[in-house]
Amino acid sequence: MSKMRLSLTIDEDIIKKIDSTIDGINVRNRSHAMELLVSKAIRANMPKKAFILAGGQGTRLRPITYEIPKPMIPIKGRPLLEHTINLLRKYDIREIIISIGYLGEKIKEYFGNGSKFGVTIHYIEEKEPMGTAGPLKLARKMLDTTFLMLNGDNVFNLDLVQMYRFHKKENASATIALTAVEDPSRYGVTRMNGAKIIEFLEKPQRWESNLINAGVYILEPEALDLIPEGFSKIETDVFPVIASRNKLCGYPFEGYWKDLGTLESYEEALKDFDSGKIGY
């Protein structure tokens, strides 16, 4: 990426605020801080497409999900999926592909082509469950450039601009957002070597890390060529292959994250939205 030198005259108070972001690691110096701030302001070079997995049955949220699909559970008067779409729009990601299955017609009925929400929505319909990777293969022709992939049942505060810059800097085929949890034994724990992910340890009894997969990914189209036919999981069928090629990266973040997979976590998220912890 070529760069040009630019001279600016800025108020001293603003310079002080800019300098306060410099940590020597993520923000190296004043010039780097300025570049990051401008990039965030104009969403420079961000992916323009997102793929959302919204086809699961949400069995742990029954009886709610007997009548509505999990991504449509209400939070502050709006479906969870609408909050996610609004977040993507803030990053100027306006072309969205949604994979639907269980009660998927309710998602299509509510969102339509996305025009009412300031985005364009395409649907991939799973006639039978295809896992977390199978639907991507169905959408392969639409995913011809770097894109964001999300689990449709998570809420999070994550700087997607910073994550994207990290992804490009590391020249990764796939980057996984990683979040720290107190008890990672319920999840797949990552083993890292610097920025690279070596492997995932599924639900370990003992662990050397508390960083887990947050269900937010940045993917290059080349990663999709590794997906087998039929039912497949990106976590077990695709990511290990990318890791073996030293092209799978992990991006730890400290912002809010919650998997709305249970009634308990759903109730917690409702309280967190009311308290302002979630910045959607």
Q: Is residue 117 a contact partner of residue 78, using CB atoms and an 8 Å limit? A: no
Q: How far apart are CA 179 and CA 186, in angstroms?
A: 14
Structure tokens at 80: 């969870």
Q: Is residue 59 a contact partner of residue 73, using CB atoms and an 8 Å limit? A: no
Cis (ω within 30 of 0) for the bond into 63?
Answer: yes
Q: Is residue 196 a contact partner of residue 176, using CB atoms and an 8 Å limit? A: no
Structure tokens at 62: 């029954």
How many helices (H) and strands (E) the chain has is answered by: 8, 13
Q: What's the burial of 78, exposed, middle or buried (CB within 10 Å: 0-12/13-18/19+)?
A: middle
* DSSP code of residue 232: -
How many other C-beta atoms can be found within 10 angstroms of the C-beta atom of residue 107? 26
| Residue of 203, 233, 247, 277 marked catalytic | 203
Q: Is 203 a catalytic residue?
A: yes
Exposure class string for 190-217: b at 16+ Cβ within 10 A, else e: bbbeebebbebbeeeeebebbbbbbbbb
Q: Which residues are catalytic?
A: 203
